[in-house]
């Protein structure tokens, strides 16, 4: 089961008790992928849905039947060329017109003539539970999510900008960051950030999927912190090594030019320890010489200055 299928399966396992919540979910589902269609087999007009998710189709059919008394037909279609299976739902019956009016798929003009122009039923999506139900219906219809091991990404592919804007306003109310884009003829609302994806999944009622993302984020964060720590240590070691090699080169320059015997005892002692211990840190050299770290550092700087004078011909 793909990650998207897992999310949709979890959404359908949430019980919808209130008719208002069922209406909000079915509004989003119908506005997302519904289309008016005539079934020659049934000799009926109805609202037609096509989805790869059998769970989404069955859930929508059950809600429409339980809360609005419509009839429905479900068909399984195998697409040989694409090696894919689709599930088709047709909602029809005497209660269809009332259903379409309530969900915003149809309106009536002043003469009472039906107009099949989709209108978002904003008055039916007011409470937090209705807003969550609307987003759940929208994800069941046109939502997908990438496997979190690959990327933090979820998106809704919609047919018009009004639906994008309405969904975006709801998502923003729950403090979830999102972006809007376009792909071919479709509008896309997408989420790219791990924490926002977690919050969206919690909002959709997909708790197992949310915990999967949360666990992965914790592992990635710990791994990133460990890598940063290792990189920092390696960088410090590299700097220390370069510094030690430079100090040894300076000391050898001094030895070749003037000899150790001409160095003052404090400088000669530090020089000998550095020549014999290229991997020692300043702290370790200080401990070896029973000096303070700053004293060792000061004497190494004096040796460096002396080597510079020699190389410049001024010593």
pLDDT, one tens digit per residue, over 162-220 is: 899 999 999 999 999 999 998 888 889 999 988 899 999 999 999 899 888 888 877 77
229 assigned to some structural domain: no
Q: By mean pLDDT, which of 4-13, 56-65, 176-185 is the weakest? A: 176-185
State the pLDDT at residue 82. Answer: 65
Task: For residues 87 and 187, state if they share a domain.
Answer: yes
Residue that is written with structure tokens 């809360």 in the block: 67
The residue from 186, 205, 224 where one domain ends is: 205
Does residue 41 carry a pLDDT above 90?
A: no
Q: How confident is the model at residue 243 (pLDDT cuts 50, 70, 90)?
A: confident
Q: How confident is the model at residue 315 (pLDDT cuts 50, 70, 90)?
A: low
The count of domains in the chain is 2
Task: For residues 146 and 250, state if they share a domain.
Answer: no
> Quick one: DSSP state of residue 205?
T
State the pLDDT at residue 156. Answer: 95
> Cα–Cα distance between 266 and 33 in angstroms, integer?
84
State the pLDDT at residue 144. Answer: 95
Task: For residues 201 and 241, state if they share a domain.
Answer: no
Cβ-based burial of 201 (10 A; exposed 0-12, middle 13-18, buried ≥19)? buried
Task: For residues 172 and 245, state if they share a domain.
Answer: no
State the pLDDT at residue 291. Answer: 85
Residue 18, helix vs strand vs coil: coil
State the pLDDT at residue 3. Answer: 92
Task: For residues 186 and 287, state if they share a domain.
Answer: no
The residue from 205, 226, 248 where one domain ends is: 205
The residue from 166, 185, 205 where one domain ends is: 205
Task: For residues 13 and 110, state if they share a domain.
Answer: yes
Does residue 237 carry a pLDDT above 80?
A: no
Residue that is written with structure tokens 């990404």 in the block: 153
Mean pLDDT computed over 27-37:
91
- The closest of 137, 197, 211 to 167, measured between CA atoms, is 137
State the pLDDT at residue 26. Answer: 96
Task: For residues 75 and 198, state if they share a domain.
Answer: yes
Mean pLDDT computed over 10-28:
93
State the pLDDT at residue 166. Answer: 94
Task: For residues 189 and 239, state if they share a domain.
Answer: no
Does residue 314 carry a pLDDT above 80?
A: no
Bridge partners, residue 36, by sequence: 47
Q: How confident is the model at residue 142 (pLDDT cuts 50, 70, 90)?
A: very high
143 assigned to some structural domain: yes
Backbone angles phi, psi at 30, to 5 degrees: -75, -45
CATH number at residue 84: 3.10.28.10
State the pLDDT at residue 217. Answer: 79
Mean pLDDT computed over 90-110:
86
225 assigned to some structural domain: no
Task: For residues 89 and 189, state if they share a domain.
Answer: yes
Residue 81, helix vs strand vs coil: coil
Task: For residues 178 and 248, state if they share a domain.
Answer: no
Task: For residues 52 and 161, state if they share a domain.
Answer: yes
More confident residue, 204 or 285: 204
Mean pLDDT computed over 141-152:
92
Does residue 67 carry a pLDDT above 70?
A: yes
More confident residue, 111 or 90: 90
The secondary structure element, H or E, covering residue 92 is strand 84-92
Does residue 232 carry a pLDDT above 80?
A: no
> Cα–Cα distance between 239 and 231 in angstroms, integer?
12
171 assigned to some structural domain: yes
218 assigned to some structural domain: no
């Amino acid at each position: 089961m793909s990650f998207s299928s897992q999310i949709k399966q979890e959404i359908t396992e949430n019980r919808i008790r209130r008719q208002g919540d069922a209406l909000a979910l079915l509004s989003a589902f119908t506005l997302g992928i519904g289309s008016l269609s005539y079934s020659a087999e049934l000799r009926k007009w109805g609202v037609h849905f096509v989805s790869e998710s059998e769970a989404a189709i069955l859930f929508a059919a059950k809600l429409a039947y339980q809360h609005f008394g419509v009839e429905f037909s479900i068909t399984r279609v195998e697409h040989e060329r694409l090696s894919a299976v689709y599930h088709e739902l047709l909602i029809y019956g005497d209660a269809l017109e009332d259903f379409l009016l309530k969900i915003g798929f149809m309106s009536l003009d002043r003469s009472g003539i039906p107009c099949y122009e989709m209108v978002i039923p904003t008055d039916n999506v007011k409470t937090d539970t209705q807003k969550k139900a609307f987003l759940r219906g929208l994800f069941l219809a046109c939502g997908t999510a990438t496997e979190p091991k690959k990327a933090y990404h979820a998106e809704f592919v919609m047919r018009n900008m009004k639906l994008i804007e309405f969904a975006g306003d709801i998502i923003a109310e729950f403090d979830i960051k999102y972006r809007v884009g376009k792909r071919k003829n479709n509008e896309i609302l997408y989420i790219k950030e791990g924490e926002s994806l977690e919050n969206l999944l919690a909002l959709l009622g997909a708790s197992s999927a949310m915990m999967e993302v949360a666990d992965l984020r914790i592992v990635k964060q710990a791994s990133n912190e460990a890598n940063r720590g290792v990189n920092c240590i390696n960088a410090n070691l590299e700097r220390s090594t370069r510094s030690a090699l430079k100090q040894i080169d300076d000391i050898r320059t001094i030895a070749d030019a003037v000899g150790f015997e001409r160095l003052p005892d404090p400088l000669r002692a530090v020089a000998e320890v550095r020549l014999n211990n290229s991997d020692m840190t300043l702290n370790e050299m200080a401990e070896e010489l029973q000096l303070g770290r700053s004293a060792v550092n000061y004497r190494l700087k004096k040796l460096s200055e002396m080597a510079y004078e020699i190389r410049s011909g001024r010593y």
